[in-house]
Structure 1
Amino acid sequence: MSELKELPSLDLSALVASRVCHDIISPVGAITNGLEVLDEDGAEDMRDFAMDLIRKSARQASAKLQFARLAFGAAGSAGAEIDLGDAQVVATGFMENEKSDLDWQVTRHLMPKNYVKLLLNLILIANQCVPRGGTIKVTMEGEPSSPSFELVASGQNPRIPIGMKETLEGTEPERVDAHSVQPIYTFLLAKECGSAVVINKEEEQVRITTSSKM
């Protein structure tokens, strides 16, 4: 397997945009379906169901977009810092629509934006490791200017998705597409932060840690 090549910025942005669009298609489609039900003649008995569907799907779409804005977006100018309290809010909102619970044990600080983006992307990685649901515990050590993160995903039959470990270690995935771009992006964020991501399966949990490469 070959070393991960640097993706042209246009290709990377296009793949990340595809990933974000893929994540919000479902709730936006559900909103459309709910509105179509309301437009139908004689659908009074379905009105409450349609309104509940629209409300739930709108909250879900908003949570996913707010998370994506912080995890993938510019989120301020170069060198900007982000309040970890804001990161916790968007991460909690995102995880409310997932099968796993988020156990956030990180103290509120201002932190360089790339570290915050890295942490949010690690939550996405951890969430994929417990597809049947569970708990994702998030902790941090070190100073906010150069932190180390640890995420432990516990649940029923946790697993590391095929190829993810190798991609996070800097190996070129079999296919570079909208599906594989998120771990690629996580690796690139860690590299930009001067960190390395280590992911390992340990009995009934998957542990993800970051450490400085400097």
Structure 2
Amino acid sequence: MPNSEIELAALVGSRICHDLISPIGAVNNGLELLSMAGDGSTAEMELIDESVCSASARIRFFRVAFGVAGNQTIGVSEAKGILDDYHQTTRWDVIWTLAEAQQRPDIRMCFLALLCMETGMPYGGTVTVRSSGSKWVLTGQAEKLNIDAELWSVLATGQSAIKLRPSQVQFGLLPIIAREAGKQVTSQILENEITLSF
């Protein structure tokens, strides 16, 4: 049995992502075959291909963020590849400054933190990811922020005075997972900048 409700939720996340990635991969393979055969409108094929690539990128990102962390490491090229694919059609850019492979649990917390940053930067922006020893620091810069103070307070306390919506689940998960790892999530919000560390 899982050791905690969080671990059980992570198993559910992993199962969903695992089961969805195969049919999406099959659709992508089908598109490649149609492309080689010369069937279908180019515009239609491009639209379907873009949607399939976006869905695949999201599943890969969510599998790390919401799935079981385990004790594996994730290499620099894999982490950057997931982020580049995930943000390809979004308004956000992520600058990954880490030069070495990282433990999957740390990258899981980083990906959850990125989802928090996106919530506070709904109009787009740039997030720089750094680490110093065991401490991770994400700095987001945007022309305009949209900060819900009650929502952001959840990161520091792990307790929510408001009912979280599905799109806000990362705010509930990150402090719990960080606490289990012996870390504390802190955030600082300025006029055009968010700093989130753990």
The TM-score with structure 2 as length reference comes to 0.75
Partner of 1:53 in structure 2? 47
Partner of 2:194 in structure 1? 206
Would you say 1:127 and 2:118 are equivalent positions?
yes
> 80, 87, 93: which is aligned to 1:95?
87
Deviations 1:101-157 (A, max 9, x none): 111111122x33211111111111112221111111111111xxxx21111111121
Instruction: Give the helix-richer structure, 1 or 2.
Output: 2
State the alpha-carbon separation in 2 of the partners of residues 10 and 120 from structure 1: 17
Q: What's the secondary structure of 1:163's corresponding residue? A: helix
Q: How does 1:26-41 map to 2 (within 5 A)?
A: none
Task: Give structure 2 stretches of 5+ with no counterpart.
Answer: 32-39
Between the aligned residues of both structures, percent identity stands at 21
Q: What's the secondary structure of 2:184's corresponding residue? A: strand
Q: What is the aligned residue count?
A: 176
Q: How does 1:148-163 map to 2 (within 5 A)?
A: 148-163=135-150
Deviations 1:166-185 (A, max 9, x none): 21111224114423322111
CA-atom RMSD, angstroms? 3.0
Q: What's the secondary structure of 2:167's corresponding residue? A: coil
- Kept in 2: contact 1:121–1:186 (CA 8 A): yes
Q: Which runs of 4+ in 1 moved over 6 A?
A: none
State the alpha-carbon separation in 1 of the partners of residues 191 and 84 from structure 2: 26
Q: What's the secondary structure of 1:181's corresponding residue? A: helix
Q: 1:159 to 1:199 in 2, by over 3 A?
A: farther
| RCO comparison, higher one (Cα < 8 Å, 6+) | 1
The TM-score with structure 1 as length reference comes to 0.70
